[in-house]
Chain A
Amino acid sequence: MSFFNPKGASAKTSQKHVVDPALQPWVEKYRPRTIDDVSAQEHTVTVLRKALTSTNLPHMLFYGPPGTGKTSTILALSRQLFGPDNFRNRVLELNASDERGISIVREKIKDFARQTPRAQAVSSDGKTYPCPPYKIIILDEADSMTQDAQGALRRIMETYARITRFCLVCNYVTRIIEPLASRCSKFRFTPLDPSSSSLRLSHIAQCEHIDIDSAVIDTLIKTSSGDLRRSITYLQSASRLASSTSPPTAITSLDIQEIAGVVPESVINDFASTLGIEVEDAMDVGGSTKHNANSFGAIQSKVKELMREGFSATQILSQLHDLVVLHPTLNGRQKSSCALVFAEADKALCDGADEELWILEVGLRINKAIS
């Protein structure tokens, strides 16, 4: 039997393919169903709510960091406009995972736009939906389209302006060419503030019947920096792990840190003190030779040790950065020369430079800056 056994018309079968809600990832299970379920993003939601009542939609550009509700919002809005029955023939979702050669996009859009919308007044769920006389084309992850493709898209938008509304979704608004961006109403999605995240996470915990204390929620929020997708994923992973041990245990902040790939504080403190930074509780991590330890050899072998532990270099950098910036006794000049190193290293790592060499570089330069 072959591994691949195409289902043929996948769209039809996948509707039947119902996922057991108990096994559904929580990010999907708790994806906002209506725009009112979308947390934070008040401004965007207010504007869209108005658009919903007038059913007159402009072309839109949603931008902002991952996990802030962009995809959820446009999906929810479309569902509220068209209802479950018409969703399929009125909304086209294309993303970077689909073939995005512009000729293909054009074909797809042309096909899609050509079909005459058949709207039923009353939907199978008994509700009525506005069902305005246009189709929505969602281009998710639009920032990974080439400039040429975006240019071509602009003409497509004009050609089909009467019967379609476009919604471009992206992380980096600067990657969208100006002529395209200027045709859209822009909506900025901001990282979720702690209280909105906290509310949403508590809501999910309650629905899933799990007990979590506020310290755990704080850790979730701290480790995911406003990315709700990440915090929900962490929460679900932690709950899976905690509930499958026998007997089931409660979720702790430590579990969350571990799942999130946070380097233990003791490890960072130990590294910092090898670099000659005074750390209050570095003493409990063994060894009393700390103070004459900051020689080249000591720093080099500490870096090798960190690499062997497999900690992510960017994670080490960001935690070390926080430690230095908030340090009580380092002076401004020392902190700013450290900050410079952090910035350089961040760039180098993004470009794919060797992690060990750069963590060593950071270590050596901090050591120099503060001694």
Chain B
Amino acid sequence: MALWVDEFRPRTLDNLHYHQGLSTRLKSLAASGDFPHMLFYGPSGAGKKSRIACTLRELFGPGVEKLKIDQRVFLSPSKRKLEINIVQSNFHIEITPSEAGNYDRVVIQELLKEIAQTQQVDLNAKQRFKAVVINEADSLSRDAQAALRRTMEKYMSNMRIILCANSTSRLIAPIKSRCLLMRVAAPNYHEMETVLNYVAKRAPFTLPPEATKKIIDDSGGNLRKAILVLEALKMQSPDLSGPLAIAKADWETYCHKVADLIVGEQSPARVMEVRAKFYELLSHCIPPTVIIKTVAERVVERVDESLKADIMHWAAFYVRKIVGGLAVPFTHSCWPAQEVRMRIGSKKIYHLEAWVVKIMSLYKHFFYDVDMSAFD
């Protein structure tokens, strides 16, 4: 049985629940015959992928939903075999280049060239081009991005690229200047409410307003998360009444524990304890950026107003150290890929630890009322 997020996902642009303005634009673009290369960007769970799927359907008709998954083998320059899963229909192809890690350029190059040299064989096809959807485009290495740019111009007649990314900051300018940008904002409270009610109606069951509020407040604008939580809660407590406890992810709880340790005591022994916890988190491939951010946000909830800005400052500082001088993106499939970029071999644990020492000393000095200006 499919999860609700998939089962009740809108299939056409008309059925999308919010950002009607965007849907109208996409519809008219799809109808105009000269569909451009596109870049969809926005936070996780805002509905980019659904919107892309609906756009494809608008362009090509229902045939685009007939998917098959192929495993393709590519050869890295050093003749290592790379096996990549490729989702495709007769009209489009979808790739997540982070699966290819450091060899994303090879995969992009080969695939695009192949597509560029093929023509649509289906004479009834509504478009003469094929669409190439590139997920997590902001995790493409610079090399792979460079490989894309002229290709996007040269093969425009039989191929359109649709990029999907959380942010545009990591995409090189020549790529952005070849795309039509579509910002997909997270749905607001009211819009999320509509969607949750719709899901409840389809399921069907009645959704108490208190439950809706709780789920939305917890979701941080991530609709996918909200629907997943709704389904989980419904399993736990079928009538969704009474106090609902939304389970936090293990790593999140763990990060909060780290924050509590830091605020609780500031000593070398405590640093060692925290370090052990960091190792644990890292070994579960939680990206260091996410660790620092989650811990820091929890710490600032618990300290004096005058310390908050400094704690976030040092979080930003060490996060930059962690990603700084980045050479090759390093990705792992269990996390949105762009979060995991860092220089291979950089000692991330050192930076995490240095940050902890820094904020412990800030915290301690705060109580002894020592002038910290020399540390800035």
Contact = CB atoms under 8 A, between A and B. Distances in A.
Interface of A: 1, 3-7, 10, 13, 17, 19, 22-25, 27-28, 65-67, 71, 95-99, 101, 140-141, 144, 171, 224, 227, 229-230, 233, 236-237, 240-241, 243-245, 259-261, 295-296, 300, 304, 307-315, 347-358, 360-361, 364-365, 367-368
Contact of B319 (A4, A347, A357): A357
Contact of B36 (A25, A350, A357): A25
Given A23-B33, A229-B177, A357-B293, A17 B185 contact: no
Interface stretch (B9-17, B109-117, B261-269, B274-282): B109-117
A67 B109 CA distance: 22
Interface in B108-133: 109, 112-119, 121-122, 130
Interface stretch (B226-234, B237-245, B307-315): B307-315
A25 B33 CA distance: 11
A244 B77 contact: no
17 contacts: A17-B119, A28-B156, A65-B173, A97-B151, A98-B109, A99-B109, A241-B29, A295-B305, A300-B300, A309-B185, A313-B169, A314-B169, A349-B169, A353-B319, A354-B316, A357-B293, A360-B316
A308 B313 contact: no
A356 B36 contact: no
Report which residue of B25, B147, B169, B339 has the largest number of chain A beta carbons within 10 angstroms of its beta carbon: B169
B-side interface size class: 35 or more
Contact of A354 (B29, B179, B289): B289
B154 interface: yes
Contacts of A259: 180-181
Contacts of B113: 97
Contacts, number: 203
A66 B174 contact: yes
B59 interface: no
Contacts of A313: 167, 169
B71 interface: no
A101 B115 contact: no
Contacts of B84: none
A349 B221 CA distance: 23
Nearest to B86: A3
A355 B169 contact: yes
B295 to A, nearest CB: 12
Closest 4 CB pairs of A and B: A310-B42, A244-B28, A361-B316, A97-B151
Given A308-B185, A309-B186, A311-B183, A351 B150 contact: no
Contacts of A19: 157
A276 B111 CA distance: 51
A94 B316 CA distance: 41
B271 interface: no
A5 B121 contact: yes
B68 to A, nearest CB: 9
A351 B323 contact: yes
A296 B305 contact: yes
A347 B179 CA distance: 24
A310 to B, nearest CB: 3
A243 B221 CA distance: 33
Contact of B93 (A3, A230, A304, A314): A3
A343 B34 CA distance: 39
A97 B149 contact: yes
Contacts of B147: 96-97
Contacts of B148: 97
Report which residue of B117, B130, B326, B338 has the largest number of chain A beta carbons within 10 angstroms of its beta carbon: B117
Nearest to B321: A353
Contacts of B34: 22-25, 236, 240
A310 B183 contact: yes
Contact of A360 (B112, B158, B312, B338): B312
Contacts of A28: 153, 156
B60 interface: no
Nearest to B46: A310
B200 interface: no
Contact of B28 (A25, A240, A309, A315): A240
B316 A358 contact: yes
Given A7-B117, A296-B300, A310-B186, A96 B149 contact: yes
A358 B179 CA distance: 26
Contact of B114 (A4, A348, A364): A4
A355 B150 CA distance: 28
A273 B365 CA distance: 32
A364 to B, nearest CB: 4
Contacts of A224: 177
B50 interface: no
Contacts of A352: 170, 323, 326, 329, 338, 341
A365 B43 CA distance: 25
Nearest to B68: A3
B289 A97 contact: no
A223 to B, nearest CB: 11
B202 interface: no
Contacts of A65: 173
A364 B33 contact: no
Given A67-B177, A96-B147, A241 B169 contact: no
Contact of A233 (B43, B177, B185): B177
Interface string B20-59: 0000110011011110100001110010000000000000
Given A1-B90, A17-B157, A141-B149, A364 B305 contact: no
B211 interface: no
Contacts of A353: 289, 316, 319-320, 322-324
